[in-house]
Chain A
């Protein structure tokens, strides 16, 4: 039982990171019907930028707390801006083009960002300093929980609730939902769809950058190709939850995190990726639109 609970705790920590990253995929897909393959690399870029900012902050003899605050603000701003620029340069010119052309453009962006990271920060791993977060461990009836895990889980949940309120209770949020349902109709209603697309790229990149920083703080190891693994997992999470559906991405992330640890822990470690994808395919066969996704009527 302790083992099981321990697995769940660890699954939730990684799951909340997947969830943050998955939101970026799902929002872009919801409005643009584009699988943004570069999103995972943006997450990796965030971790690298964060580390650089952090080192600069330490260089200026800031206290740990201020250095971390500076890291989060500067990185989040930079990556949001980067997301907006990426959309402007690589996706907007293709908005009217065939859908798969935009997918290839996203794959190109992914390749360029990944290799750009390698050129700037080098091919070797980078390591986050271990002492930026006060790390306390609690033993609760055999289950070990540490403060970083709790911080990540809490911050992710707060961010996701904030996003949920933003999407459902504000004007921009309503406009985003409207654009996701029908772009043309939204345009006719006077919604600036370009503005909405900028907003979702900014928001998605923002949440992704927080995910990237969490990866840096939690695992502390950065390598230039890490974006693929997190991107792919987050993407699966978005689909499990129902791609295009924001609460679905959150749920999907958490479920995937838990599922991953349960498979590796109880079924087979060496087959864990294959089994994760087998589950994904089964979900797609049974319920193609994911757990929370709405069924879209085929246009005739």
Chain B
């Protein structure tokens, strides 16, 4: 019986040794750290899909610097433990850059490991602290919440003149931070927030809070969470006969929102970066078309596109600097200005923050038609 103990240890050691890295010359390795399983599986698989597709396209064009690109994926399950383990594993596998991860916690636990190893990391995670550590390897590829919050506040108060504003979010770091930032921005310009609430993502039954809101007689409901909940909130809002307008943050802008909200989607306002179909360059359209052709579905959310942009920026840096030396790549990226991206022009600041993109507000009319109602000057 006791032999089993030793046996397990031996087996595990064999496993471990067989997993040690094999370094292939003539290949540039790109890591993907993403939640492939668990609650954010759709987002994680979206990031993985996007990276694999872009790398395949690049390889078809002959790769970079005469070398083929190779993708190594690691599932961090959206946890701190998974993030750290993946970071060590990817570093050990010899990747020069890592795309992802989706959420802040595993990005944070992975950050120091990449920094020490000199591996570039580009994530959409929104926690402020990620760019505050001074790690030269980290690049946030999503737009900071503060820019969107200011724009949203201006839209609600200066453009639409809403007097009774309700702000809703879910519990995710992204959504609750965006809601907090929006409330702060609203207060600054004298907006009247009559209620600020949180919903549990995925709970589907939002009527209790909406019924409560109904009694407050709001004239707008702003929701900073995801389309998976936003579409239902809008549908249930209309079903309850609440006349208020609905304004969705950027994560609501997804085709599934309209499926969920059905006819109630008409009259909804969306805040987002310029949409693919009205961008001055064909990149985004092209990306979405290719993605749909390859995977027979749309990317799960805007975050897939942000991470795709992170990869594109890094590939561009390799191409321009003609090196895979991450120090030189980071120096190049820190000075990157207005590189055309799928989600708008990409500019990185010195601390790896993406400079704010231009936002627009759209109104949905006549079943999924968009018109721009407000934009920054």
Asked if A and B form a direct contact in the complex, defined as CB atoms under 8 angstroms apart, the reply is: yes
Query: Which residues of A are at the interface with B, using a C-beta cutoff of 8 A?
Result: 3, 6-7, 10-11, 14, 115, 118, 122-125, 127, 130, 137, 139, 144, 146, 215, 219-221, 223-226, 229, 260-266, 269-270, 272-273
Name the contact of A221 in the complex, choosing from B37, B42, B232, B297 (C-beta under 8 A).
B232
Residue of chain B at shortest CB distance from A125: B228
Contact assessment for B197 and A270 in the assembled complex, using a CB-CB cutoff below 8 Å: yes
Output the least CB separation between B303 and chain A (Å): 13
Q: Is B266 among interface residues, defined by CB-CB distance under 8 A?
A: no
By a CB distance below 8 angstroms, the chain A residues around B203 are 229
A223 to B256 alpha-carbon distance, docked (Å): 12
Q: Is B208 among interface residues, defined by CB-CB distance under 8 A?
A: yes
Contact assessment for A10 and B207 in the assembled complex, using a CB-CB cutoff below 8 Å: yes
By a CB distance below 8 angstroms, the chain A residues around B335 are none
By a CB distance below 8 angstroms, the chain B residues around A125 are 42, 228, 256
Contact assessment for B202 and A223 in the assembled complex, using a CB-CB cutoff below 8 Å: yes
Residue of chain A at shortest CB distance from B35: A123
Q: Give B191-229 as 1s and 0s: 1 = Cβ < 8 Å from A's Cβ atoms.
A: 000000111101111011101101100000000000010
Contact assessment for A3 and B212 in the assembled complex, using a CB-CB cutoff below 8 Å: yes
A260 to B42 alpha-carbon distance, docked (Å): 29
Contact assessment for B241 and A139 in the assembled complex, using a CB-CB cutoff below 8 Å: yes
Given that A221-B228, A221-B231, A225-B202 are contacting pairs, would A137 and B239 also be in contact in the complex, using a CB cutoff of 8 Å? Answer: yes
The 7 closest A-B pairs by CB, nearest first: A264-B208, A123-B42, A10-B207, A123-B41, A261-B208, A127-B259, A130-B262
Given that A137-B239, A144-B240, A269-B197 are contacting pairs, would A3 and B211 also be in contact in the complex, using a CB cutoff of 8 Å? Answer: yes
Name the contact of B212 in the complex, choosing from A115, A229, A264, A273 (C-beta under 8 A).
A264
Given that A127-B256, A265-B209 are contacting pairs, would A219 and B232 also be in contact in the complex, using a CB cutoff of 8 Å? Answer: yes
Interface centre among B37, B197, B203, B214 (most CB of A within 10 A): B203
A266 to B228 alpha-carbon distance, docked (Å): 25
Chain B interface main SS type: helix
Query: Which residues of B are at the interface with A, using a C-beta cutoff of 8 A?
Result: 37, 39, 41-42, 44-45, 197-200, 202-205, 207-209, 211-212, 214-215, 228, 231-232, 235, 239-241, 256, 259-260, 262-263, 297, 300
Contact assessment for A225 and B37 in the assembled complex, using a CB-CB cutoff below 8 Å: no
By a CB distance below 8 angstroms, the chain B residues around A215 are 204
Selected A-B contacts with CB under 8 Å, 9 pairs: A10-B208, A127-B256, A127-B259, A144-B241, A221-B228, A262-B208, A264-B209, A269-B212, A272-B208
Contact assessment for B208 and A219 in the assembled complex, using a CB-CB cutoff below 8 Å: no
Output the least CB separation between B275 and chain A (Å): 20
Given contacts A3-B212, A215-B204, A269-B199, 18 further A-B contacts (CB under 8 A): A3-B215, A7-B211, A10-B205, A10-B208, A14-B205, A14-B207, A122-B297, A123-B45, A124-B256, A125-B228, A130-B259, A130-B262, A220-B232, A220-B235, A221-B204, A223-B228, A265-B208, A269-B198
By a CB distance below 8 angstroms, the chain A residues around B42 are 122-125
Contact assessment for A6 and B37 in the assembled complex, using a CB-CB cutoff below 8 Å: no
By a CB distance below 8 angstroms, the chain B residues around A127 are 256, 259-260
By a CB distance below 8 angstroms, the chain B residues around A262 are 208
A3 to B208 alpha-carbon distance, docked (Å): 10
By a CB distance below 8 angstroms, the chain A residues around B214 are 3, 6
Given that A123-B300, A124-B297 are contacting pairs, would A265 and B212 also be in contact in the complex, using a CB cutoff of 8 Å? Answer: yes
By a CB distance below 8 angstroms, the chain A residues around B45 are 123
By a CB distance below 8 angstroms, the chain A residues around B235 are 220
Output the least CB separation between A60 and chain B (Å): 22
Output the least CB separation between A155 and chain B (Å): 18
Contact assessment for B211 and A261 in the assembled complex, using a CB-CB cutoff below 8 Å: yes
Contact assessment for A10 and B202 in the assembled complex, using a CB-CB cutoff below 8 Å: no
By a CB distance below 8 angstroms, the chain A residues around B215 are 3
Residue of chain B at shortest CB distance from A5: B211
By a CB distance below 8 angstroms, the chain B residues around A272 are 200, 208
By a CB distance below 8 angstroms, the chain B residues around A270 are 197-198
Name the contact of A273 in the complex, choosing from B200, B211, B260 (C-beta under 8 A).
B200
Residue of chain A at shortest CB distance from B295: A122
Name the contact of A115 in the complex, choosing from B37, B199, B211 (C-beta under 8 A).
B37
